[in-house]
Amino acid sequence: MLITDLRKYLNRTGLDPNRKLGQSFLINSAIAAKIVAEIPGQGSVLEIGPGFGSLTEKLLPRTESLSVVEISDRMASFLRQRFRDERLSVIQADFLNIDPSELPGYPFKTVVGNLPYYISSPILFRMIEHCFRHVQKAVLMLQREVAVRLATLDGGKDYGKLSLQFWPIFTVENLIDVSAEDFYPVPRVLSRVVVLNRRSKPLITGELYGRFRRIVKVSFSMRRKTIFNNLKPLLGEGGALKLLELSDVDPGLRAEQILPERFIKMAEAMD
């Protein structure tokens, strides 16, 4: 939908974008085409936060089955009127609360979406839940600083809990940067599209993954503290020192200075 068409619809219906719901709609069709080009041409697709349907419009010709989850009832109604296609299912719901197994087209192999930035991290973490284990690829628009944190694995201030929890399960590719002017209304942040591809084999077993996540969260709980001081409340002084010794980790390092593989070692060494 062009910006002129979008404004006409807004004026006709009196429907204003809801900033509280993070509603900034993609109006650059070239960006939409770039995103959709990443979507495989087979299987069912789940779209999160379709808004006025800039991605939906381009996804429909490429998919066998498309389910879109839209939190706004008025937006959902608009989508049903705009797209009268038997391949499309419009679900008015909060994505954070849905059971995907109840949606048409489940299990989904592909997820796509222009995520509301204020809840992008909770939405991202749904991708590593068991109910989304069939998803092989996710193409997602994120606030640029979140996208940077998701992809950073080489230390520093952007390296941390977000990237480490996805790293054993997905690879992260930066697809394209998107300017604020590519949206209506214009957001106050810059954006980036990332592609998550599920690894053919996870880097850590399912049995150890829960322990790995716990170690990571505790290790980064206070970024300025050493990893030893962060682990002490969980394991005690002796237990923390023993775990770090077994994992060949210097107790004086901060978590952001420790390689991802060492966190796996700690999970394996933890009793």
204-261 pLDDT, tens digit per residue, is 998 899 999 999 999 999 999 999 999 999 999 999 999 999 999 999 999 999 999 9
Q: How many CB atoms lie within 10 A of CB 41?
A: 8
> Which single residue is written with the structure tokens 């995103």?
35
Q: Over 90: is that where the pLDDT of 24 sits?
A: no
Quick one: 181 and 211 in the same domain? no
Measured distance between the N- and C-terminal CA atoms of the chain, rounded to whole angstroms: 56
Number of domains in the chain: 2
Among the listed ranges 110-114, 117-121, 200-204, which one has the minimum average pLDDT value? 117-121
Quick one: 42 and 147 in the same domain? yes
Residue 153 pLDDT? 98
Residue 42 pLDDT? 79
Strands 110-114 and 137-143: parallel
Assign 271 a pLDDT band (cuts: 50, 70, 90).
confident
71-92 pLDDT, tens digit per residue, is 989 889 989 998 989 999 999 9
**Residue ranges making up the domain that contains 55:** 3-198
> Last residue of a domain, which of 144, 172, 198?
198
In the chain, DSSP assigns E strands to: 25-26, 44-48, 65-70, 88-92, 110-114, 137-143, 170-178, 183-184, 191-198
**pTM for the model:** 0.92
Nearest to 97 by CA among 71, 76, 79: 71
Residues 6+ apart with CB under 8 A from 103: 46, 67, 69, 89, 91
Nearest to 58 by CA among 23, 75, 83, 24: 83
Quick one: 51 and 163 in the same domain? yes
Backbone φ and ψ for 114, nearest 5 degrees, come out as -100, 95
Here the CATH number for the domain that contains residue 246 is 1.10.8.100
Residue 13 pLDDT? 63
Residue 16 pLDDT? 64
Q: Over 80: is that where the pLDDT of 8 sits?
A: no
Question: Is the model more confident about 167 or about 271?
Answer: 167
Quick one: 153 and 214 in the same domain? no
Quick one: 183 and 213 in the same domain? no
> Last residue of a domain, which of 173, 198, 223?
198
In this structure, which amino acid lies at residue 192? R
Quick one: 192 and 228 in the same domain? no
Quick one: 111 and 180 in the same domain? yes
Quick one: 131 and 215 in the same domain? no
**Average pLDDT of the chain?**
92
Quick one: 58 and 144 in the same domain? yes
Q: Over 90: is that where the pLDDT of 136 sits?
A: yes
